[in-house]
Amino acid sequence: MSSACLGCQLANGEVQAHVIYENERITCLLDIAPINEGHVLIMPKRHIVEVEEIDEETMRAVFSAAAQISRGLKACFAPDGISMMQNGGMFNDLGHYHLHVFPRNQGDGFAWVEANAVNEAAKRLAETRLKLINHIN
């Protein structure tokens, strides 16, 4: 745990939050700026910043909680769907790994922005596949 990290403080109960579930590895709490009612953040209690730093047990805990929360959101809010999102690098505004899980409704204003057509990534799928295979294996 990093005492300077707000995510660590939230996940370990040092800062008041609306916790809905926790176990020895993770804490699930309501986002203070929810996209929709029921927007939950799942955070490891150990200081982790990026997804590739997460050990298997913590990852299991995160996604087990995500499934449990998804079931709860569906029961409570009867949404049209559930979205999950994780932001890394400069897009991780908390500086601590967290997975967003939130209910979605048609017309709620949240949207996926399609890639700019000028990046031409779709034309390089075969090349990209080989590049990733070589780096993953």
Q: Compute how many other C-beta atoms are within 10 angstroms of the C-beta atom of residue 65.
A: 23
Cα–Cα distance between 129 and 116 in angstroms, integer? Answer: 20
pLDDT tens by residue, 67-93: 999 999 999 999 999 999 999 999 999
pLDDT digits (tens, 9 = 90+) for 11-53: 999 999 999 999 999 999 999 999 999 999 999 999 999 999 9
CB 66 within 8 A of CB 42: yes
Decide: 40 and 30 in contact? Cβ < 8 Å. yes
CB atoms within 10 A of CB 89: 7
